[in-house]
């Protein structure tokens, strides 16, 4: 059973707060239903995109599950539900789920037999496939790299997925490409659970190092990524929060013009 969406204050978005086992149980239910579903995650980058890209917003609004991915998002949600969390003896960060919190646990989903990995370079994609075969023994795992993504490659991936007919698709094309691809193509893709995982394919492959978990619990994982990938992360850390603040202020003072767009 999937929990009801809950509002994340200040950020003006909804999410589906879950712990790892709750997510795995929900994914098992979606697979058993045999319908087309999506699993997304919210961090400050995705929130910015939701408030600035209609296609991304539409995908998030229609998603089956939207996890609390980024620490600031989880903390703001936790502040609004502090009393309930304290009464249950739970901490906010137990509900903060990045892709690497649940991908290594996929072997616990009963009946999972076919997994597709779409994205990253050829080396990372191949290594991620190999690791997933060890995580879910007996499952058929295959994939296609996503580097130099264009219309032709997108069409080839759609055809390949139709032939492969996976149960779970790990789509790691980065934001907002993976979300816009889902918006364009979800209606013609085979029934499966499509999980937008960003750069997690390289992490599954062991090519990109994970931040120590204690940094994540402190909400400082961004610092680790900034050190390792300054060119890629600096804009998100130092510029994008101001862009998001402007978008939120605009929504606050011009609700009739922005919230329906």
Q: Which two tokens stand for residue 206?
A: 């062991």
- Cα-flanking dihedrals φ and ψ of residue 112, to 5°? -80, 115
Q: Is residue 175 part of a domain?
A: yes
The total domain count for the chain is: 1
pLDDT band at 258 (very low <50, low <70, confident <90, very high): very low
- Cα-flanking dihedrals φ and ψ of residue 5, to 5°? -60, 145
Q: Give which of 111, 79, 94, 51 is closest to 243, Cα–Cα.
A: 51
pLDDT in tens, 102-132: 999 999 999 999 999 999 999 999 999 999 9
Question: Is residue 261 predicted with pLDDT exceeding 50?
Answer: no
Cβ–Cβ under 8 Å, residues 49 and 176: yes
Q: Is residue 96 part of a domain?
A: yes
Q: Which two tokens stand for residue 176?
A: 């907002």
Q: Is residue 141 part of a domain?
A: yes
Q: Which two tokens stand for residue 227?
A: 């050190």
| Residue-number span of the structural domain to which 105 is assigned | 6-258
Other residues' Cβ atoms within 10 Å of the Cβ of residue 258:
15
Kindly list the distances between the CA atom of residue 68 and the CA atoms of 14, 39, 54, 73, 124, in Å, as whole numbers in the listed order: 10, 11, 21, 6, 26
Q: Is residue 195 part of a domain?
A: yes
Q: What is the mean predicted confidence (pLDDT) over 144-160?
A: 96
pLDDT band at 3 (very low <50, low <70, confident <90, very high): confident
The predicted structure's pLDDT at residue 208: 76
The predicted structure's pLDDT at residue 252: 79
The predicted structure's pLDDT at residue 218: 60
Place of tokens 């609390």: 68
Q: What is the mean pLDDT of the chain?
A: 89
Q: Is residue 45 part of a domain?
A: yes
The predicted structure's pLDDT at residue 243: 80
Read off the pTM. 0.90
Q: Is residue 1 part of a domain?
A: no
């Amino acid at each position: 059973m999937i929990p009801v969406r809950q509002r994340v204050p200040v950020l003006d978005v909804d999410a589906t707060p879950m712990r790892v086992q709750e997510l795995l149980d929900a994914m098992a239910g979606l697979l058993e239903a045999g319908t087309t579903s999506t699993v997304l995650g919210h961090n400050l980058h995705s929130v910015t995109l939701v408030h600035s890209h209609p296609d991304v917003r539409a995908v998030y609004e229609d998603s089956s599950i939207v996890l609390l991915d980024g620490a600031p998002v989880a903390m703001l949600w936790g502040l609004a539900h502090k009393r309930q969390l304290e009464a249950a003896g739970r901490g906010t960060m137990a509900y903060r789920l990045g892709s690497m919190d649940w991908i290594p646990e996929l072997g616990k989903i009963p009946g999972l037999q076919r997994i597709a990995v779409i994205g990253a370079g050829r080396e990372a994609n191949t290594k991620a496939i190999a690791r997933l075969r060890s995580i879910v023994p007996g499952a058929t795992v295959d994939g296609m790299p996503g580097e130099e993504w264009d219309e032709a490659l997108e069409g080839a991936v759609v055809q390949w997925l139709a032939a492969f007919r996976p149960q779970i698709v790990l789509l790691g094309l980065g934001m907002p490409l993976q979300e816009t691809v889902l918006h364009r193509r979800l209606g013609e893709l085979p029934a499966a659970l499509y999980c937008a995982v960003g750069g997690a394919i390289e992490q599954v492959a062991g090519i990109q190092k994970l931040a120590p978990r204690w940094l994540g619990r402190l909400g400082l994982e961004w610092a680790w990524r900034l050190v390792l990938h300054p060119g890629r992360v600096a804009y998100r850390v130092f510029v994008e929060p101001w862009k998001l603040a402007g978008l939120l202020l605009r929504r606050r003072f011009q609700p009739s013009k922005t919230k329906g767009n």
